[in-house]
């Protein structure tokens, strides 16, 4: 019988093969994926050289929350219409909100793409979950420990606890279900299916002072 880490690792290998990403780190949701990616870029890799991250004014409300939680400011950019489609860059970083994209070979090199398995509209429907796609080896190692409260992939009785982290890991039951659902993204000849980007309406978040007041 596989242990919980082996189940998660198998699901992540499937996601690597389908998305074209070198590394995949599954998490409990895409919002926490965005937070970890921003935190890593700002505080560990130190590649974020601005205090402000720009995002579309219409997006999922947790996105500006995670930017602020990462101790950054939010700048909202105007968009045409009331919807957004597919993936967009959190400008000022190499992080992408890819909650509305899940398709074959989608990975963009030199980025951290945050995908979502949560919600009835997603191509990949788990009850909850997300992941970071990355080709950065050091970031991959850090994300893996950060999601397990800083632990290595072993029993907490055997760890030496030398890193702080968060309780952001995907439950192994969801990873096991994810493995079973991967077949839907392949044709009978084994080739990968392509999925269209999703388009969803979102409120204009630039109207709400809560996203600005913490940085005045």
CATH of the domain at 79: 3.40.640.10
Stated as kind and residue range, the H or E segment containing 52 is: strand 52-56
Question: Residue 140's domain spans which residues?
Answer: 4-213
Contact present, 67 and 38 (Cβ < 8 Å):
yes
Q: Which three-class secondary structure state does DSSP give residue 57?
A: coil
- Say what the pTM is: 0.95
Contact present, 75 and 53 (Cβ < 8 Å):
yes
Tokens 């101790």 correspond to 71
**d(C-alpha 40, C-alpha 186), whole Å:** 33
Per-position pLDDT tens, the chain of length 216 = 677 789 999 999 999 999 999 999 999 999 999 999 999 999 999 999 999 999 999 999 999 999 999 999 999 999 999 999 999 999 999 999 999 999 999 999 999 999 999 988 899 999 899 999 999 999 999 999 999 999 998 888 999 999 999 999 999 999 999 999 999 999 999 999 999 999 999 999 999 999 986 555
Domains in the chain, number = 1
Query: If you ran DSSP here, which 8-state letter would residue 192 be given?
Result: B
**d(C-alpha 29, C-alpha 169), whole Å:** 9
Q: How far is CA 107 from CA 11, 64, 98, 135, in A?
A: 17, 23, 10, 9
Contact present, 19 and 135 (Cβ < 8 Å):
no
Contact present, 143 and 152 (Cβ < 8 Å):
no
């Amino acid at each position: 019988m596989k242990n919980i880490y082996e189940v998660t690792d198998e699901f992540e290998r499937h996601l690597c093969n389908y998305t074209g990403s070198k590394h995949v780190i599954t998490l409990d949701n895409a919002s926490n994926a965005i937070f970890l990616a921003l935190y890593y870029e700002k505080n560990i890799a130190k590649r974020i050289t601005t205090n402000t991250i720009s995002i579309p004014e219409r997006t999922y409300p947790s996105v500006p929350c995670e930017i602020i939680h990462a101790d950054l400011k939010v700048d909202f950019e105007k968009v045409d219409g009331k919807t957004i489609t597919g993936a967009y860059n959190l400008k000022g970083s190499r992080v992408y909100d890819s909650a509305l994209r899940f398709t074959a070979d989608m990975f963009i090199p030199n980025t951290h793409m945050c995908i979502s398995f949560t919600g009835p509209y997603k191509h990949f429907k788990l009850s909850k979950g997300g992941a970071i796609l990355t080709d950065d080896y050091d970031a991959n190692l850090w994300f893996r420990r950060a999601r397990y409260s800083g632990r290595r992939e072993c029993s907490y009785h055997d760890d030496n606890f030398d890193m702080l982290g968060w309780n952001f890991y995907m439950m192994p039951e969801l990873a096991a279900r994810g493995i079973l659902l991967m077949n839907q993204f392949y044709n009978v000849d084994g080739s990968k299916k392509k999925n269209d980007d999703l388009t969803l309406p979102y409120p204009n978040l630039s109207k709400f002072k809560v996203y600005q007041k913490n940085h005045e």
